[in-house]
Structure 1
Amino acid sequence: MAIVEIDGVRLHYTDEGSGSETIVFSHGLLMSGDMFAAQVATLKHKYRCIAYDHRGQGQSAVTDDGYDMETLTADAAGLIEALGASPCHFVGLSMGGFVGMRLASRRPELLRSLTLLETSADPEPKENQKSYRLLNFIARWFGLGLVLGKVMPIMFGKTFLSDPDRAAEREKWRAHIGSNHRIGITRATRGVIDRAGVSDEIGTIDLPVLIIVGDEDVATVPEKSERMHQAIKGSKLVTISKAGHSSTIEQPRAVNGALSEFLSSIRDKATARG
């Protein structure tokens, strides 16, 4: 198990592949770096691929505090520096995207490009906060198992959830979500619910940016990706058909295709400049 210590916090990560450029993958809430397994399997033949777990999730340490997006951004910056990964291609999904936007606007020297999947520059909508806090309370005091029935339709789109051929995958990810540390995950959830928006910052991002959203995402609806696309000059927006909030799992081929094309275009432009 690979561990890097950042400001006294032990963060778990995987490090596969090789190449002159590095991709760092940052996962969404309730998940871990495992949600990028299909992307790492495809891209590790050309790139060094690092996928890490946020504090309180996956195999990283559960800390007493530090779950706000600013601290998680500092964690990511520290990891990139400690592993000699800068400048990297940063790929963030949902919560990982919250981190990625902050890195791109505040620490641009660490990044070569930014990919944002199923995420938003807005704060958590007020209409979601009450129900999310209730689910978080139940998970904290009575266990994640009691809320999985409500969580799965938020995390995945209707196509994935209704496909009889993918029942085993659904059970795998249901178990994965349910295996989260009860204290760590509820602290991480509060950090997401209470986050500030960064809509006023993303217009300063001056990097190649790819935005990916599933057309069945109900957690961060496609309109939010469109707003980010309009705010970030030169960004590219790709909509993935029949995908929800976990598009890297639900439609891995489509995500891999969009990501590979984006990264290749950056490499081609760099080559052309000499």
Structure 2
Amino acid sequence: MPYVEVNERKLHYADSHPQGAPAGGLTFICIHGLGSSQNYYFPILPYLTGKHRCITFDTYGSGRSPYTGHEQFIETIAADAVGVLDKLKVGKAVVVGHSLGGTTVSHLAAQFPDRVLAAVAIGPVHPTPSNVPIFEKRIQVVSESGMEPMADTIPNQATGSRATPLQKAFIRELIMGQNSMGYASLCRAVIAARPPNYAAVKAPFLIIAGDEDKSAPLDGCKHILENICSKDKKLEILPGVGHWQCIEASDHVGQLIADFAGTIGA
């Protein structure tokens, strides 16, 4: 399995085109959310990999990237994504992020504008103090009982009315595959998160939201859209979809991102 060493972290990744993006194509780097892994993106990759290079990776302490005790923050996840691009010799990329990863792409676009061609935020979470007790409770639960309580509740609570049993089973498996200490460290990153400098974001920006998403409500997505300073910004809302958009509505999400890619100059 391919790994890269970035910022004293060993990160597992996949690369659809290791030799570089196809002629005329773009490079994407995809950052998953809490309790997930790079596999979250695989249902939408067929819409992109025919024309574009797609790099997915397990963030530190998630999936197959081992947790070794380092604390992490939104800023360190963003720095790790840049480190992956450096290791794979990619100058600029379209950054895609889900949930916590959606918050991260705003930080990336604000802090590393020379590395970001465009950004796609899927169910991005706008940090607010109301998130703190939720994630403090999650830390307590997984510290005492492991990942199973999360896996038994989140697939039903965080999906929309269109979600199928198979989709919920996929989400459950993603959650069960987490290291509980790594998961807790990401919960602490959520608690410590502050709103990105939205005003510094100038790259083309697409937000994809589920209209039944309780984890990243539409009000937060609209706030992000209003404060992003890109001249090319758009919010797409998926009916009947909750917080796991790439799994619940892969065809719709994949096509939206493919269409968005067609508007971006390399």
**Higher RCO structure (Cα 8 Å, ≥6 apart):** 2
Among 116, 123, 141, the residue aligned to 2:127: 123
Number of the residue aligned with 1:48: 53
Residue among 176, 182, 192 paired with 2:174: 176
Q: 1:123 to 1:172 in 2, by over 3 A?
A: closer
Shift of 1:251: 0.4
Q: Alignment partner for residue 67 of structure 2, among 36, 39, 62?
A: 62
5 Å matches for 1:216-227?
216-227=212-223
Residue in structure 1 matched with residue 203 of structure 2 by the alignment: 207
Distance 1:222-1:196 versus aligned 2 partners, 3 A rule = same
The one-character-per-residue Cα deviations of 1:55-92 (angstroms, maximum 9, x if unpaired) are 00011120312311111111111111111222101111
Give the conservation status (yes or no) of the 8 Å contact 2:138–2:187. Answer: no
Farther-moved stretch of structure 1 (171-180 vs 235-244):
171-180
CA distance in 2 between partners of 1:262 and 1:41 (Å)? 15
1:184-237 Cα shifts (integer Å, max 9, x gaps): 111111111221122xx1112111111111101100101111111111232111
Q: Superposition pairs for residues 62-141 of structure 1, below 5 Å?
A: 62-120=67-125, 122-126=126-130, 128-141=131-144
- Residue range with higher mean Cα deviation, 203-212 or 151-160: 151-160
Cα offsets for 1:121-178 (capped at 9, x unmatched): x32442x422332222111121111233332244322331xxxxx3233223212211
Q: Does 1:251 align with 2:249?
A: yes
Partner amino acid for 1:28? G
2:216 and 2:254 map into 1 onto residues whose CA distance is 20
Tell me by how many angstroms 1:97 deviates.
1.4
Equivalent residue, structure 2, for 1:151? 154
Q: Find the counterpart in structure 2 of residue 7 from structure 1.
A: 7
Contact 1:124 1:194 in 2 (8 A): no
Contact 2:156 2:168 (C-alpha < 8 Å) held by counterparts: no
TM-score (norm 1): 0.89
| 1:152 maps to amino acid | P
| Residue type at the aligned position of 1:117 | I
Q: Are the structure 2 counterparts of residues 154 and 132 from structure 1 closer, same or farther at C-alpha, using a change threshold of 3 Å? A: farther
What RMSD, in angstroms, separates the aligned Cα atoms of the two structures?
A: 1.6
State the one-letter code of the partner of 1:5.
E
* Residues 1:26 and 2:24 aligned together: no
1:38 to 43, 48, 52: 43
Larger helix fraction of residues: 1
Distance 1:169 1:256 in 2: 16
**Structure 1 169/186 Cα, relative in aligned 2: closer, same or farther at 3 Å?**
same
Unaligned runs of 5+ in 2: none
Question: Would the alpha carbon gap of residues 193 and 228 (structure 1) be closer, same or farther in structure 2, given more than 3 Å must change?
Answer: same
Counterpart secondary structure, 2:80 = helix
TM-score by length of 2: 0.92
